Structure 1
C-alpha cells in the first residue's frame, strides 16, 4: 500500500479539537453591530428627504440660476446680444429672429442705463421700436405702444422711422441706415 492515497469522510463532533465547520456552512460575514444598521437606516432616510427636497424645489421653487447662449450677456431674466457689424433695421430684426430672439424692447430706465455698459460706450444701436406710417405712433416689435413719458424719442416720428439707442437716450433714424443692433431673449431657468 505504499504510495497509495486513501480518502475518508470523517464526521467529527463539533467540539472535537481541530474540527472546522465546512466553508459552505460558515456565515459570509460576522453579524454587524446594531449601530451599523441604525446608521444605514438614517442614511437611507436622509437620501429620501434630499430627493423629496429636490423635487419640491423643482416644482415650487426656483434656483435663481439662469442660462444664456454663448456670447450673450445675462441681466435679470433677459439675455442680450450685441452685433459686431451693422445693417438696416429690417435685416437686424430678421437676424434677431434667426437667433430665436427679437430686437431689444426696453422696459424701464434702469435697463436703458444698463445698455451703456453692455455696448461699452459705443454710440448707436437699433432697438425694436418703429413707426410704420405717418399716422401711426411709435410701436415696439411686440405690438405694444411706446410710453413717451418714460422714454421720449428725439427726432421725427414719420413713416419708415426706427428707434436707435444713443448712449442713454432713444432717438429716431431712417430705417435704411446701417447700424449695429441689440437682440434680447428670455434667460433659461435652471
Structure 2
C-alpha cells in the first residue's frame, strides 16, 4: 500500500549557509564585568603610569651634572677659590667672603699650600686667609674652630694678640689683623646646571 507523500516549503535566504553564520551578539555588560573590576583596572593603570613617571624622573636626577666654579672663581681640588682685587682688614675680608656665600680660605694640606703659592702671581703681595692667633688659647686657630697643624704651615713673625695669617707667593706671615691685605675666599665646588641664555 502506498504511503501519502507530504511536501513542505523551506525558506532559506541566500548567503546564510553554515560557513557564513556569525554567533549571536552578547549583551554589552558581559565584557565589562562588575564595577569593582573596572575600578581595579583603572587603579592598576594609574599605578603603572606613576611608576613609569617615577623611573623617568629618577633617571633625569641621576644624570651627572658638570662641576664648575662661577665666573671670577678658580677651581682648586674640590673647592672654588676667589682672589680679591682690593685690600681690607682681616675682619672685613671675612665679611666679604661671607657676602659671597663663602669663607676665608682654609688650607687643608701641603699640596693645597703649594697650589696657593703657585696661583699667587706677584711676589710681595699678602693675602689673608682663615687663620688667626687666639691669645686665650695661645695658638693659631682656623675659622672652623680647629687648631693649626704646624707640619702643614710654618708661620713667620710674632704670635701675639691681634695676629692673623697672610700668605705670599713663598711664605706665610703673622700680620696685624687691622692692617690691610688682599684676601682669598673659598667655597665648595657644586654642580652647575646650564642656564639657557636668551638670544643664544
TM-score normalised by the chain length of structure 2: 0.62
Distance 2:134 2:188 in 1: 26
Kindly report which structure 2 residues correspond to 1:3-152, keeping only aligned pairs within 5 A, or say none.
55=58, 58-59=61-62, 65-122=66-123, 123-133=125-135, 135-152=137-154
Deviations 1:123-163 (A, max 9, x none): 31001000132543101111111101221211111111000
Q: Which residue of 2 aligns with 1:25?
A: none
Determine if contact 2:165/2:175 at 8 Å carries over to the other structure: yes
Deviations 1:78-110 (A, max 9, x none): 001011010000000000001000011001122
Distance 2:69 2:137 in 1: 38
Q: Which residue of 2 aligns with 1:165?
A: 167
Distance 1:74 1:110 in 2: 14
Distance 1:110 1:121 in 2: 20
Distance 1:128 1:90 in 2: 10
The Cα RMSD (Å) is 2.4
Q: Secondary structure at the match of 1:138?
A: strand
Number of aligned residue pairs:
138
Name stretches of at least 5 consecutive residues in structure 1 with no aligned partner: 1-51
Distance 2:97 2:143 in 1: 11
Larger radius of gyration: 2
Determine if contact 2:118/2:169 at 8 Å carries over to the other structure: no
How far has the Cα of 1:189 moved from its partner?
A: 2.5
CA pair 54-118 structure 1, distance change in 2 beyond 3 A: farther
CA pair 58-89 structure 1, distance change in 2 beyond 3 A: same
How far has the Cα of 1:55 moved from its partner?
A: 4.7
After the TM superposition, which parts of structure 1 deviate over 3 Å for at least 4 consecutive aligned residues? Answer: 52-59
TM-score normalised by the chain length of structure 1: 0.65
